[in-house]
Structure 1
Amino acid sequence: MSTCATLSRELSEPLAATAATATTWLLLEQNGPWGAKALGESHLDAAVGRALEAAAAGTGVRVALIRRPGRHADCLPTARHEVVVAHAVPGRSWVRRGAVADPAELLELDFAALGAGDHGGFGAEHVGGPIALVCTNGRRDRCCALLGRPLAAELAAAGHSEVWEVTHLGGHRFSPTMLVLPYGYAYGRLTAESAKEVLAATAAGQMVPEWSRGRSGWDRPGQAADHAVRVAAGETAVDALTVAQRPAGEGRWLVGVVHEDGRAWEVEVVEGASEPARPESCGKAAGTPSRMDVAAVRQVA
């Protein structure tokens, strides 16, 4: 069976700089089935889902639903909904945990402050290990169900990290995809073995460039520059690099990357189109997805 994921792999489409961008993730537990647009198509009240999405718009906050791995037949409404809020900006990452009886309570949060990294005292600090979020929403793309659900189940059974299924991480054609907190690095085309390697690295404050799609706290040009410098310098410590980008013409950026030891690079990033045409998701018409190509990496200090 041909899928968007198999075709992307066959075309050797790069993983780098394809992560969804979000400074902060607001993750709400919602059991039962999910529709393609899960915030409005689940046991969550559709009006509340739409209001959460509207409240997050333009703030840097990305809202998604989560559930524990396993079978998801129709079920009774969730009595208490666990909530995970995570800020993924390098050097300022944090994860907070809480629970609500009514998801509408989350509309009282200051979304602009959350996006800027101020949790406002929500919940309590997460003190455990890495949190793995595996995209499994087959109603949005069959690859996420066919490849994501078995991965989530195996990782949960292994018991090395906390594992959740999540509604949407973007990049279905890179399935199975996983976002790892607290740092917000996204990964794609994982196997159970590589996913466990990623989680072990995260627990040690490291990332794994080979399967990295980028850190969600940066825009895509910054993700591309981060990846290029990491590969060139052999650097995997998650917070070793800081990134600052500036436009340099249409579809072009100059990105300054600074290492905590004082080294610095200037990276030229150019937006291109992936050829030949391929579907970005199963069932969609073939297109040429945007990609971020690194034109030059210059060490300046």
Structure 2
Amino acid sequence: MSRCATVSRVLDEPIAGTAVHARTWLLIEQPGPWGPKALTESRLDPALGRALEDAAEGSGVRIALIRRPGPHADHGTPPVRRVYAAHTAPRNDWVHGALTREPERLLDIDFAALGRGEPGAFDAALPDAAPHTGFPLAFVCTNGRRDRCCALLGRPLAAELAASNVAGTWEITHLGGHRFSPTLLVLPHGYAYGRVDAPTVKEILHRTRDGQVVTEHCRGRSAWARPGQAAELAVRTRIGETSADALDVTGVHRVPAGAAAQDPPLWEVVVTHADGRRWRVVVAETAATPPRPQSCGAPLGSPARMDVVGVRETP
């Protein structure tokens, strides 16, 4: 059976508007093996993993495990682990990091405040927390227990980046969209990428360090839901805008259904530039054809795709 990433490439499936939606990320270092549901299927205390999932529910915070690239022998839990919190909204994007011996302190976080983009919610729970500065962070999805493409394609990429001394390289448990492997999340801005190789990642990180965005291979900014991701990338492409914080998605509205039953769902998205310009972007949510596996071993299906059908600048 063909791998899901191979089928997606052959079908030339578009990747714009496919990033996972998370305005805020909480990333916890956990070496060793990961199961499909890593928060409760790893060497992290499963009771803590379940409690963190419950605490983050509905807050806009997405939790994932991370580890350094390399062999992942089961050597138990490290005495000290790195944790990051990151908010990805334009002009309020930040990353704070800390080292902790007591991961249960993460339950002291005010998750509602963290989801709103308040870094103090993270800092108050971890006394040595501080802003992360100097270089962007790159997280490559490598959880082969969730999808084999993430291991077969993601782990070699993470290893190559680490061997090249690319600062800030981590493996991560899940970024969604296995069929776009290898997949990548870059912080602080929160843009996700797919089908990348090491030279491409290095260029992305170089541009990110300068506050810029590379639109090639870009799946979208995680701060927004999928229609907003597709719309923002469409405006970027149209006007040649590369500054990461120049564009914001300031409105997403479902267009009332048409009379024809076959009409696809439509979204009207307002994209606003920092200089005051605005665009109204119409995004059609269609089913990808022909059917293809959304992950390795899954039955054939028709995943949703976001097709931009109109871009209009407004007064």
Q: Report the TM-score range of the alignment, normalised by the length of the smaller protein.
A: over 0.9
- Cα shift readout 1:49-92 (whole Å, capped 9, x = no counterpart): 11111111111100000000000011132101210000011110
Partners of 1:39 and 1:263 lie apart in 2 by 42
What does residue 138 of structure 1 align with? 144
Partners of 2:118 and 2:277 lie apart in 1 by 30
C-alpha deviation, 1:128, in angstroms: 2.3
Q: State the number of aligned residues.
A: 301
Partners of 1:280 and 1:233 lie apart in 2 by 32
TM-score (norm. length: structure 1)? 0.97
Partners of 1:261 and 1:114 lie apart in 2 by 28
C-alpha deviation, 1:258, in angstroms: 1.6
What does residue 254 of structure 1 align with? 268
SS at the partner of 1:134?
strand
- Give 4+ residue runs of structure 1 displaced > 4 Å after superposition: none
What does residue 67 of structure 2 align with? 67
What does residue 281 of structure 2 align with? 267
1:183 aligns with 2:197: no
What does residue 238 of structure 2 align with? 232
Partners of 1:92 and 1:149 lie apart in 2 by 31
- Cα shift readout 1:11-67 (whole Å, capped 9, x = no counterpart): 111110000000100000001110111111100011111111111111110000000
What does residue 312 of structure 2 align with? 298
C-alpha deviation, 1:249, in angstroms: 2.4
SS at the partner of 2:307?
strand
RMSD of the TM alignment (CA)?
1.1
C-alpha deviation, 1:259, in angstroms: 1.5
SS at the partner of 2:17?
coil
- Cα shift readout 1:213-270 (whole Å, capped 9, x = no counterpart): 0000011111011011011111111111111222222532211112222322110112
In terms of mean alpha carbon deviation, does 107-116 or 150-159 score higher?
150-159
What does residue 81 of structure 2 align with? 81
Partners of 1:8 and 1:22 lie apart in 2 by 24
What does residue 290 of structure 2 align with? 276
Partners of 2:293 and 2:102 lie apart in 1 by 38
What does residue 200 of structure 1 align with? 206
Partners of 1:126 and 1:139 lie apart in 2 by 30
Does the aligned pair in 2 maintain the 1:161–1:199 contact within 8 Å? no
SS at the partner of 1:179?
strand
TM-score (norm. length: structure 2)? 0.93
C-alpha deviation, 1:139, in angstroms: 0.5
> Structure 2: 5+ residue runs without aligned partners?
124-128, 258-264
Which residue identity lines up with residue 114 of structure 1 in the other structure? L
Q: Report sequence identity in percent.
A: 59
Partners of 1:62 and 1:76 lie apart in 2 by 24
Partners of 1:242 and 1:39 lie apart in 2 by 32
What does residue 28 of structure 1 align with? 28
Does the aligned pair in 2 maintain the 1:90–1:183 contact within 8 Å? yes
> Structure 1: 5+ residue runs without aligned partners?
none
